Amino acid sequence: MRILITNDDGIHGPGLRALALAAAEIGDVKIVAPERERSACGHAMTMREPLRVHRAGSWHDFEAHEVNGLPVDCVNVGLTEIWPDGCDLVLSGINNGPNLGFDITYSGTVAGAMEGCINGIRSFSFSMAMLDGHTPPHFETGTAWIARHWETLLALPHEPLLFWNVNIPARPLEEVGEPRFCRMGERVYKDRVERRSDPWGRPYWWQGGIVVMDPSDPTTDVGTVAQGGVSLTPISLDWTRHDVLDRVRGGATSRT
């Protein structure tokens, strides 16, 4: 199986190697990743400047390339130059942090899988979900969990406009619960923009905020990961609200 891997934490992100190790169990891995961290870039792409691609050093057994761009750029460069005859699987991650609920709209990790999906390739995004500021990411858990569950992952539906977002709780492998199929939950931020002062007294603003989420609903990705399970969420590239479309059209089905 021909596998393209990218991420948004950059070519030096430890989760990238963690994912490559898991993927090497099932196929030939080629890595194309941003030369530096580009987290929270969403589905942006580079259009107003050239992309430069270099063979990355220190990757031992893996073929790895770094790009002065974003995860979407990496997938497109990868499908054009690195796997010119196409590939079978696009993987993005493992992200250093969760991509739950609305986070997926900001996520460069999820965007990498989304771009694979747009190109018609079976795609997954993977994230280690630590829900506080002091838990380590436990990438070794990510490697082991993914390596053990390829059969499950590759048996999931692969259809046009569909990809899978996977969040693995950041804890030792033996403490990870069962995988669960989940819908996207809600993960919003309180006090998102914080006003601060620089050393000269000039104001600046820093975005971060405190996460507010309801961990009690096990049908959501947020609830599943909060309860220690692995969330498997099918994501559609069709953002249309078909129920609303049907309603405003007076009951006629939106797909006809």
Residues binding Mn ion (CB under 5 A): 8-9, 39, 95
Token duo for residue 124: 């997954």
Q: How far is the CB of 193 from Mn ion (least distance, A)?
A: 20
Q: Is the peptide bond before 82 cis (omega within 30 degrees of 0)?
A: no
Rounded least distance, CB 108 to Mn ion, Å: 6
The set of residues, in sequence order, having a beta carbon less than 8 Å from that of 65 and lying 6+ positions away, is 30, 31, 32, 33, 53, 54, 55, 56, 77, 78, 82
To which residue do tokens 């190697």 refer? 17
What is the nearest approach in angstroms of Mn ion to the Cβ of residue 22? 18
Q: Determine the longest span between alpha carbons in the chain, in angstroms.
A: 62
Closest CB 10 distance from Mn ion, rounded Å:
8
The alpha-carbon radius of gyration of the chain (Å, integer) is 19
Query: Nearer to Mn ion by C-beta: 95 or 231?
Result: 95
CA gap 93, 108 in Å, rounded: 9
- Cβ at position 23, least distance to Mn ion in Å: 18
Least gap, CB of 131 to Mn ion (angstroms): 16
Token representation of residue 1 = 């199986």
Cβ atoms within 10 Å of 188's Cβ, excluding its own = 13
- 108 or 229, CB closer to Mn ion? 108
Minimum distance of Mn ion from residue 116's CB (angstroms): 17
Q: How far is C-alpha 83 from the geometric centre of its chain's CA atoms? A: 21
Between 9 and 35, whose beta carbon lies closer to Mn ion?
A: 9
* Contact between residue 9 and residue 133 where contact means Cβ atoms under 8 Å apart: no
> Nearer Cβ to Mn ion, position 95 or 180?
95
Residue number with CB closer to Mn ion (9 or 221) = 9
DSSP 22: H
Structure tokens at 236: 């559609």
Alpha carbon 197 to chain centroid, angstroms: 34
